[in-house]
């Protein structure tokens, strides 16, 4: 899929699926019934409704039984989908680059507090899939390619969330290696690879107290994740002892009978296969029994009851959004995420006194890119571009477009500059769920990197990316930073790193 098609696709998806909601409010309604009493009191229709979503992100309410609606929320880099001033943190792949458990705990705590402010109790995070395919459109949503690192950061994230009283949903179970044709993709994995590479982070999440698991779109060894008896019943529930509920990814259920008998507990965003008509037909045909439905309702209610969700106000008024503390955590996370890949000529750290004129190049020079899709937050907070940050700090900035190298006068500007910074790579159009991204950075951008380094040795390239890219041009660039997707504090963190206020952490060669 070329970029123009991706741009059109993203516009359609944002309009259809990413509308912003107002925060949910409601009084305190204590549910006095036990879980068993609730199930006994529910009608068949109420049970069927309860195992499917409503309003895109919500679990049904049953007013007569004092069951409040329970909202879920997308979350990778912050609380997404709400018309609120939420904090935007670095993407999970950037969090992983910090190798900092305590920092991830702080990020999770801040996100969960904001989750409670908007009225949600179920966080659709963390994502722990392994980066098996370097071009997978959702790699930026995960903690990288190492099972141990992914598991440790998931543990930190989940334990912090539990203390705030937010239910985490570890995802996408399992082997979500690609987003290309994701409804038909089949991840064929041998047993040893499954348990040594793809499942350890999920196991760590379960051991750490996650109460919800989200299945993936794909098939695993020929069986869809949402109805995969081996993974859900044998591994997750029997082998690992998971007692929570299993939720589908949005529109990732493909049958009624198989999914009811040994699959997910909750179909989202609404009942397509878990609807009254299809379930009653399966009951009439003796393909399923009502106790199969009861079991799913039981799994959901047990989690909501034991976590206290059914016995508290819908939103928590003791927390606030976008607090100074949350912003400080976002900045620290962005700062620690930045990775120095090359410094061959020892250009970094710079001497600030020698820098007055900076030429800024690259497609991301005027933007703060983020991965696209269901984790992309539409900003309600002020976000300053890297170019504006440099100007505010008193530097003379000359910003040139991507084809500057075709003009001799612009080449002269680059030659005479005290510093050249190229901010390029990928963005939310290139890198998103629904499709995989290119392995190559755009040819014009690579051409600009090569030409700029020929003209001025004081050239720094910054790459925004949620995963691996073709490094065939890297030999031409002696100074290279990987900045992933850093959230609202990207410009502050980059400025402080490059202008030597903060110290870079080397990546092992």
The string of pLDDT tens digits covering residues 108-121 is: 999 999 999 999 99
Burial class from Cβ neighbours inside 10 Å (0-12, 13-18, 19+) for residue 66 reads: middle
Axis-axis angle for helices 101-118, 324-337 (nearest 10): 140
Q: Which of 230, 287, 286, 234 is nearest to 256 (CA)?
A: 287
> Tell me, what's the pLDDT at 148?
98
Token pair 């065939």 in the structure block, residue: 472
Using pLDDT thresholds of 50, 70 and 90, give the confidence band for residue 27: low
- pLDDT, tens digit, 9 for 90 and up, residues 224-244: 999 999 999 999 999 999 999
- pLDDT, tens digit, 9 for 90 and up, residues 283-298: 999 999 999 999 999 9
Is residue 493 pLDDT above 80, yes or no? Answer: yes
How many whole angstroms separate alpha carbon 445 and alpha carbon 443?
Answer: 5
- Contact assessment for residue 322 and residue 87, using Cβ atoms and an 8 Å cutoff: yes
What is the arithmetic mean of pLDDT over 473-498? 96
> Tell me, what's the pLDDT at 509?
36
State the pairing for strand pair 212-215/167-173. Answer: parallel
Domain with CATH 3.40.50.1700 in the chain: 338-498
Domain with CATH 3.20.20.300 in the chain: 16-311
- Contact assessment for residue 294 and residue 39, using Cβ atoms and an 8 Å cutoff: yes
Max distance between CA atoms of the chain, in angstroms, equals 80
| Three-point CA angle 435, 14, 107, nearest 5° | 80
Count CB-CB contacts under 10 A for residue 172: 26
Q: Which of 170, 78, 175 is nearest to 377 (CA)?
A: 78
What is the arithmetic mean of pLDDT over 462-473? 96
Per CATH, is 16-311 categorized as 2.60.40.1180?
Answer: no
What is the arithmetic mean of pLDDT over 442-459? 97
> Tell me, what's the pLDDT at 17?
56
Q: Which of 413, 418, 397 is nearest to 353 (CA)?
A: 418
- pLDDT, tens digit, 9 for 90 and up, residues 51-61: 999 999 999 99
Give the catalytic positions in this structure: 249
Residue 410 has φ and ψ, to the nearest 5°, of -75, -30
- pLDDT, tens digit, 9 for 90 and up, residues 326-352: 999 999 999 999 999 999 999 998 988
Q: Share the mean pLDDT of the chain.
A: 94
Q: Which of 88, 32, 67, 37 is nearest to 314 (CA)?
A: 67
Exposure on the CB side of residue 489, measured as CA atoms within 13 A: 27
Using pLDDT thresholds of 50, 70 and 90, give the confidence band for residue 29: confident
> Tell me, what's the pLDDT at 23?
87
> Tell me, what's the pLDDT at 445?
97
The percentage of the chain sitting over the pLDDT mark of 90, rounded to a whole number, equals 88
Give, in order, the Cα–Cα distances in Å from 502 to each of 91, 350, 493, 495. Answer: 21, 11, 9, 9
Facing residues of 423 across strands?
462
3-state helix, strand, coil in the chain (%, to 5): 40, 15, 45
What is the arithmetic mean of pLDDT over 472-494? 96
> Tell me, what's the pLDDT at 15?
64
- pLDDT, tens digit, 9 for 90 and up, residues 150-191: 999 999 999 999 999 999 999 999 999 999 999 999 999 999
Q: Which of 216, 207, 257 is nearest to 236 (CA)?
A: 207
Is residue 365 pLDDT above 80, yes or no? Answer: yes
- Contact assessment for residue 333 and residue 99, using Cβ atoms and an 8 Å cutoff: no
Residue with the larger pLDDT of the pair 374 and 235: 235
Facing residues of 58 across strands?
54, 71
| Three-point CA angle 321, 211, 14, nearest 5° | 50
- Model pTM score: 0.96
Burial class from Cβ neighbours inside 10 Å (0-12, 13-18, 19+) for residue 324 reads: exposed
How many whole angstroms separate alpha carbon 34 and alpha carbon 497?
Answer: 55
Q: Which of 459, 507, 505 is nearest to 341 (CA)?
A: 507
- Contact assessment for residue 129 and residue 179, using Cβ atoms and an 8 Å cutoff: no
Q: Options 3.50.50.60, 3.40.50.920, 3.40.50.970, 3.40.50.1700; which CATH number does 338-498 get?
A: 3.40.50.1700
Q: Which of 500, 418, 402 is nearest to 451 (CA)?
A: 402
């Amino acid at each position: 899929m070329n970029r123009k098609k991706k741009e059109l696709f993203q516009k359609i998806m944002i309009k259809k699926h990413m509308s912003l909601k107002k925060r949910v409010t409601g009084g305190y309604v204590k549910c006095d019934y036990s879980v068993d009493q609730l199930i006994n009191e529910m009608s068949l229709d109420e049970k069927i409704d309860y195992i499917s979503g409503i309003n895109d992100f919500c679990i049904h309410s049953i007013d007569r039984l004092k069951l409040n609606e329970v909202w879920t929320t997308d979350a990778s880099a912050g609380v997404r989908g709400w018309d609120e001033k939420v904090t935007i943190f670095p993407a999970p792949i950037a969090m992983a680059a910090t190798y900092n458990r305590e920092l991830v705990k702080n990020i999770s705590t801040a996100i969960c507090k904001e989750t409670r402010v908007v009225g949600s109790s179920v966080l659709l995070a963390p994502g722990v899939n392994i980066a098996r395919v370097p071009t997978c459109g959702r790699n930026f949503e995960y903690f990288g390619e190492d099972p141990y690192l992914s598991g440790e950061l998931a543990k930190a994230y989940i334990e912090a969330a539990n203390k705030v009283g937010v239910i985490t949903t570890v995802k996408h179970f399992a082997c979500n290696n690609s987003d290309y044709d994701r409804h038909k993709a089949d991840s064929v994995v041998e047993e040893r690879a499954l348990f040594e590479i793809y499942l350890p982070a999920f196991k760590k999440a379960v051991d750490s107290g996650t109460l919800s698991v989200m299945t993936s779109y794909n098939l695993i060894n020929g069986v869809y994740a949402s109805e995969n008896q081996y993974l859900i019943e044998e591994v997750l529930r029997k082998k690992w002892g998971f007692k929570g509920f299993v939720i589908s990814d949005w529109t990732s259920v493909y049958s009624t009978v198989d999914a009811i008998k040994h699959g997910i507990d909750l179909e989202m965003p609404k009942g397509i296969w878990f609807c009254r008509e299809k379930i009653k037909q399966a009951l009439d045909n003796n393909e399923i029994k009502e106790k199969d439905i009861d079991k799913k309702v039981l799994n959901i209610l047990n989690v909501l009851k034991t976590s206290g969700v059914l016995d508290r106000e819908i939103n928590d008024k003791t927390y606030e959004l976008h607090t100074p503390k949350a912003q400080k955590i976002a900045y620290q996370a962005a700062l620690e995420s930045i990775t120095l890949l090359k410094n061959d000529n020892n250009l970094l750290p710079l001497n600030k006194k020698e820098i007055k004129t900076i030429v800024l190049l690259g497609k991301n020079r005027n933007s703060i890119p983020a991965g696209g899709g269901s984790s992309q937050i539409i900003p309600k907070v002020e976000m300053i571009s890297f170019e504006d940050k440099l100007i505010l700090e008193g530097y003379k900035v000359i910003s040139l477009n991507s084809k500057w190298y075709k003009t001799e006068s612009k080449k002269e500007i680059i030659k005479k500059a005290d510093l050249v910074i190229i901010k390029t790579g990928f963005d939310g159009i290139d890198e998103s769920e629904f499709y995989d991204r290119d392995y190559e950075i755009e040819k014009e951008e690579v051409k600009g990197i090569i030409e700029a380094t020929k003209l001025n040795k004081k050239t720094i390239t910054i790459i925004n990316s949620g995963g691996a890219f073709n490094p065939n041009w890297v030999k031409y660039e002696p100074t290279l930073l990987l900045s992933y997707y850093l959230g609202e504090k990207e410009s502050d963190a980059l400025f402080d790193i490059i202008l030597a206020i903060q110290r870079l952490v080397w990546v092992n060669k």
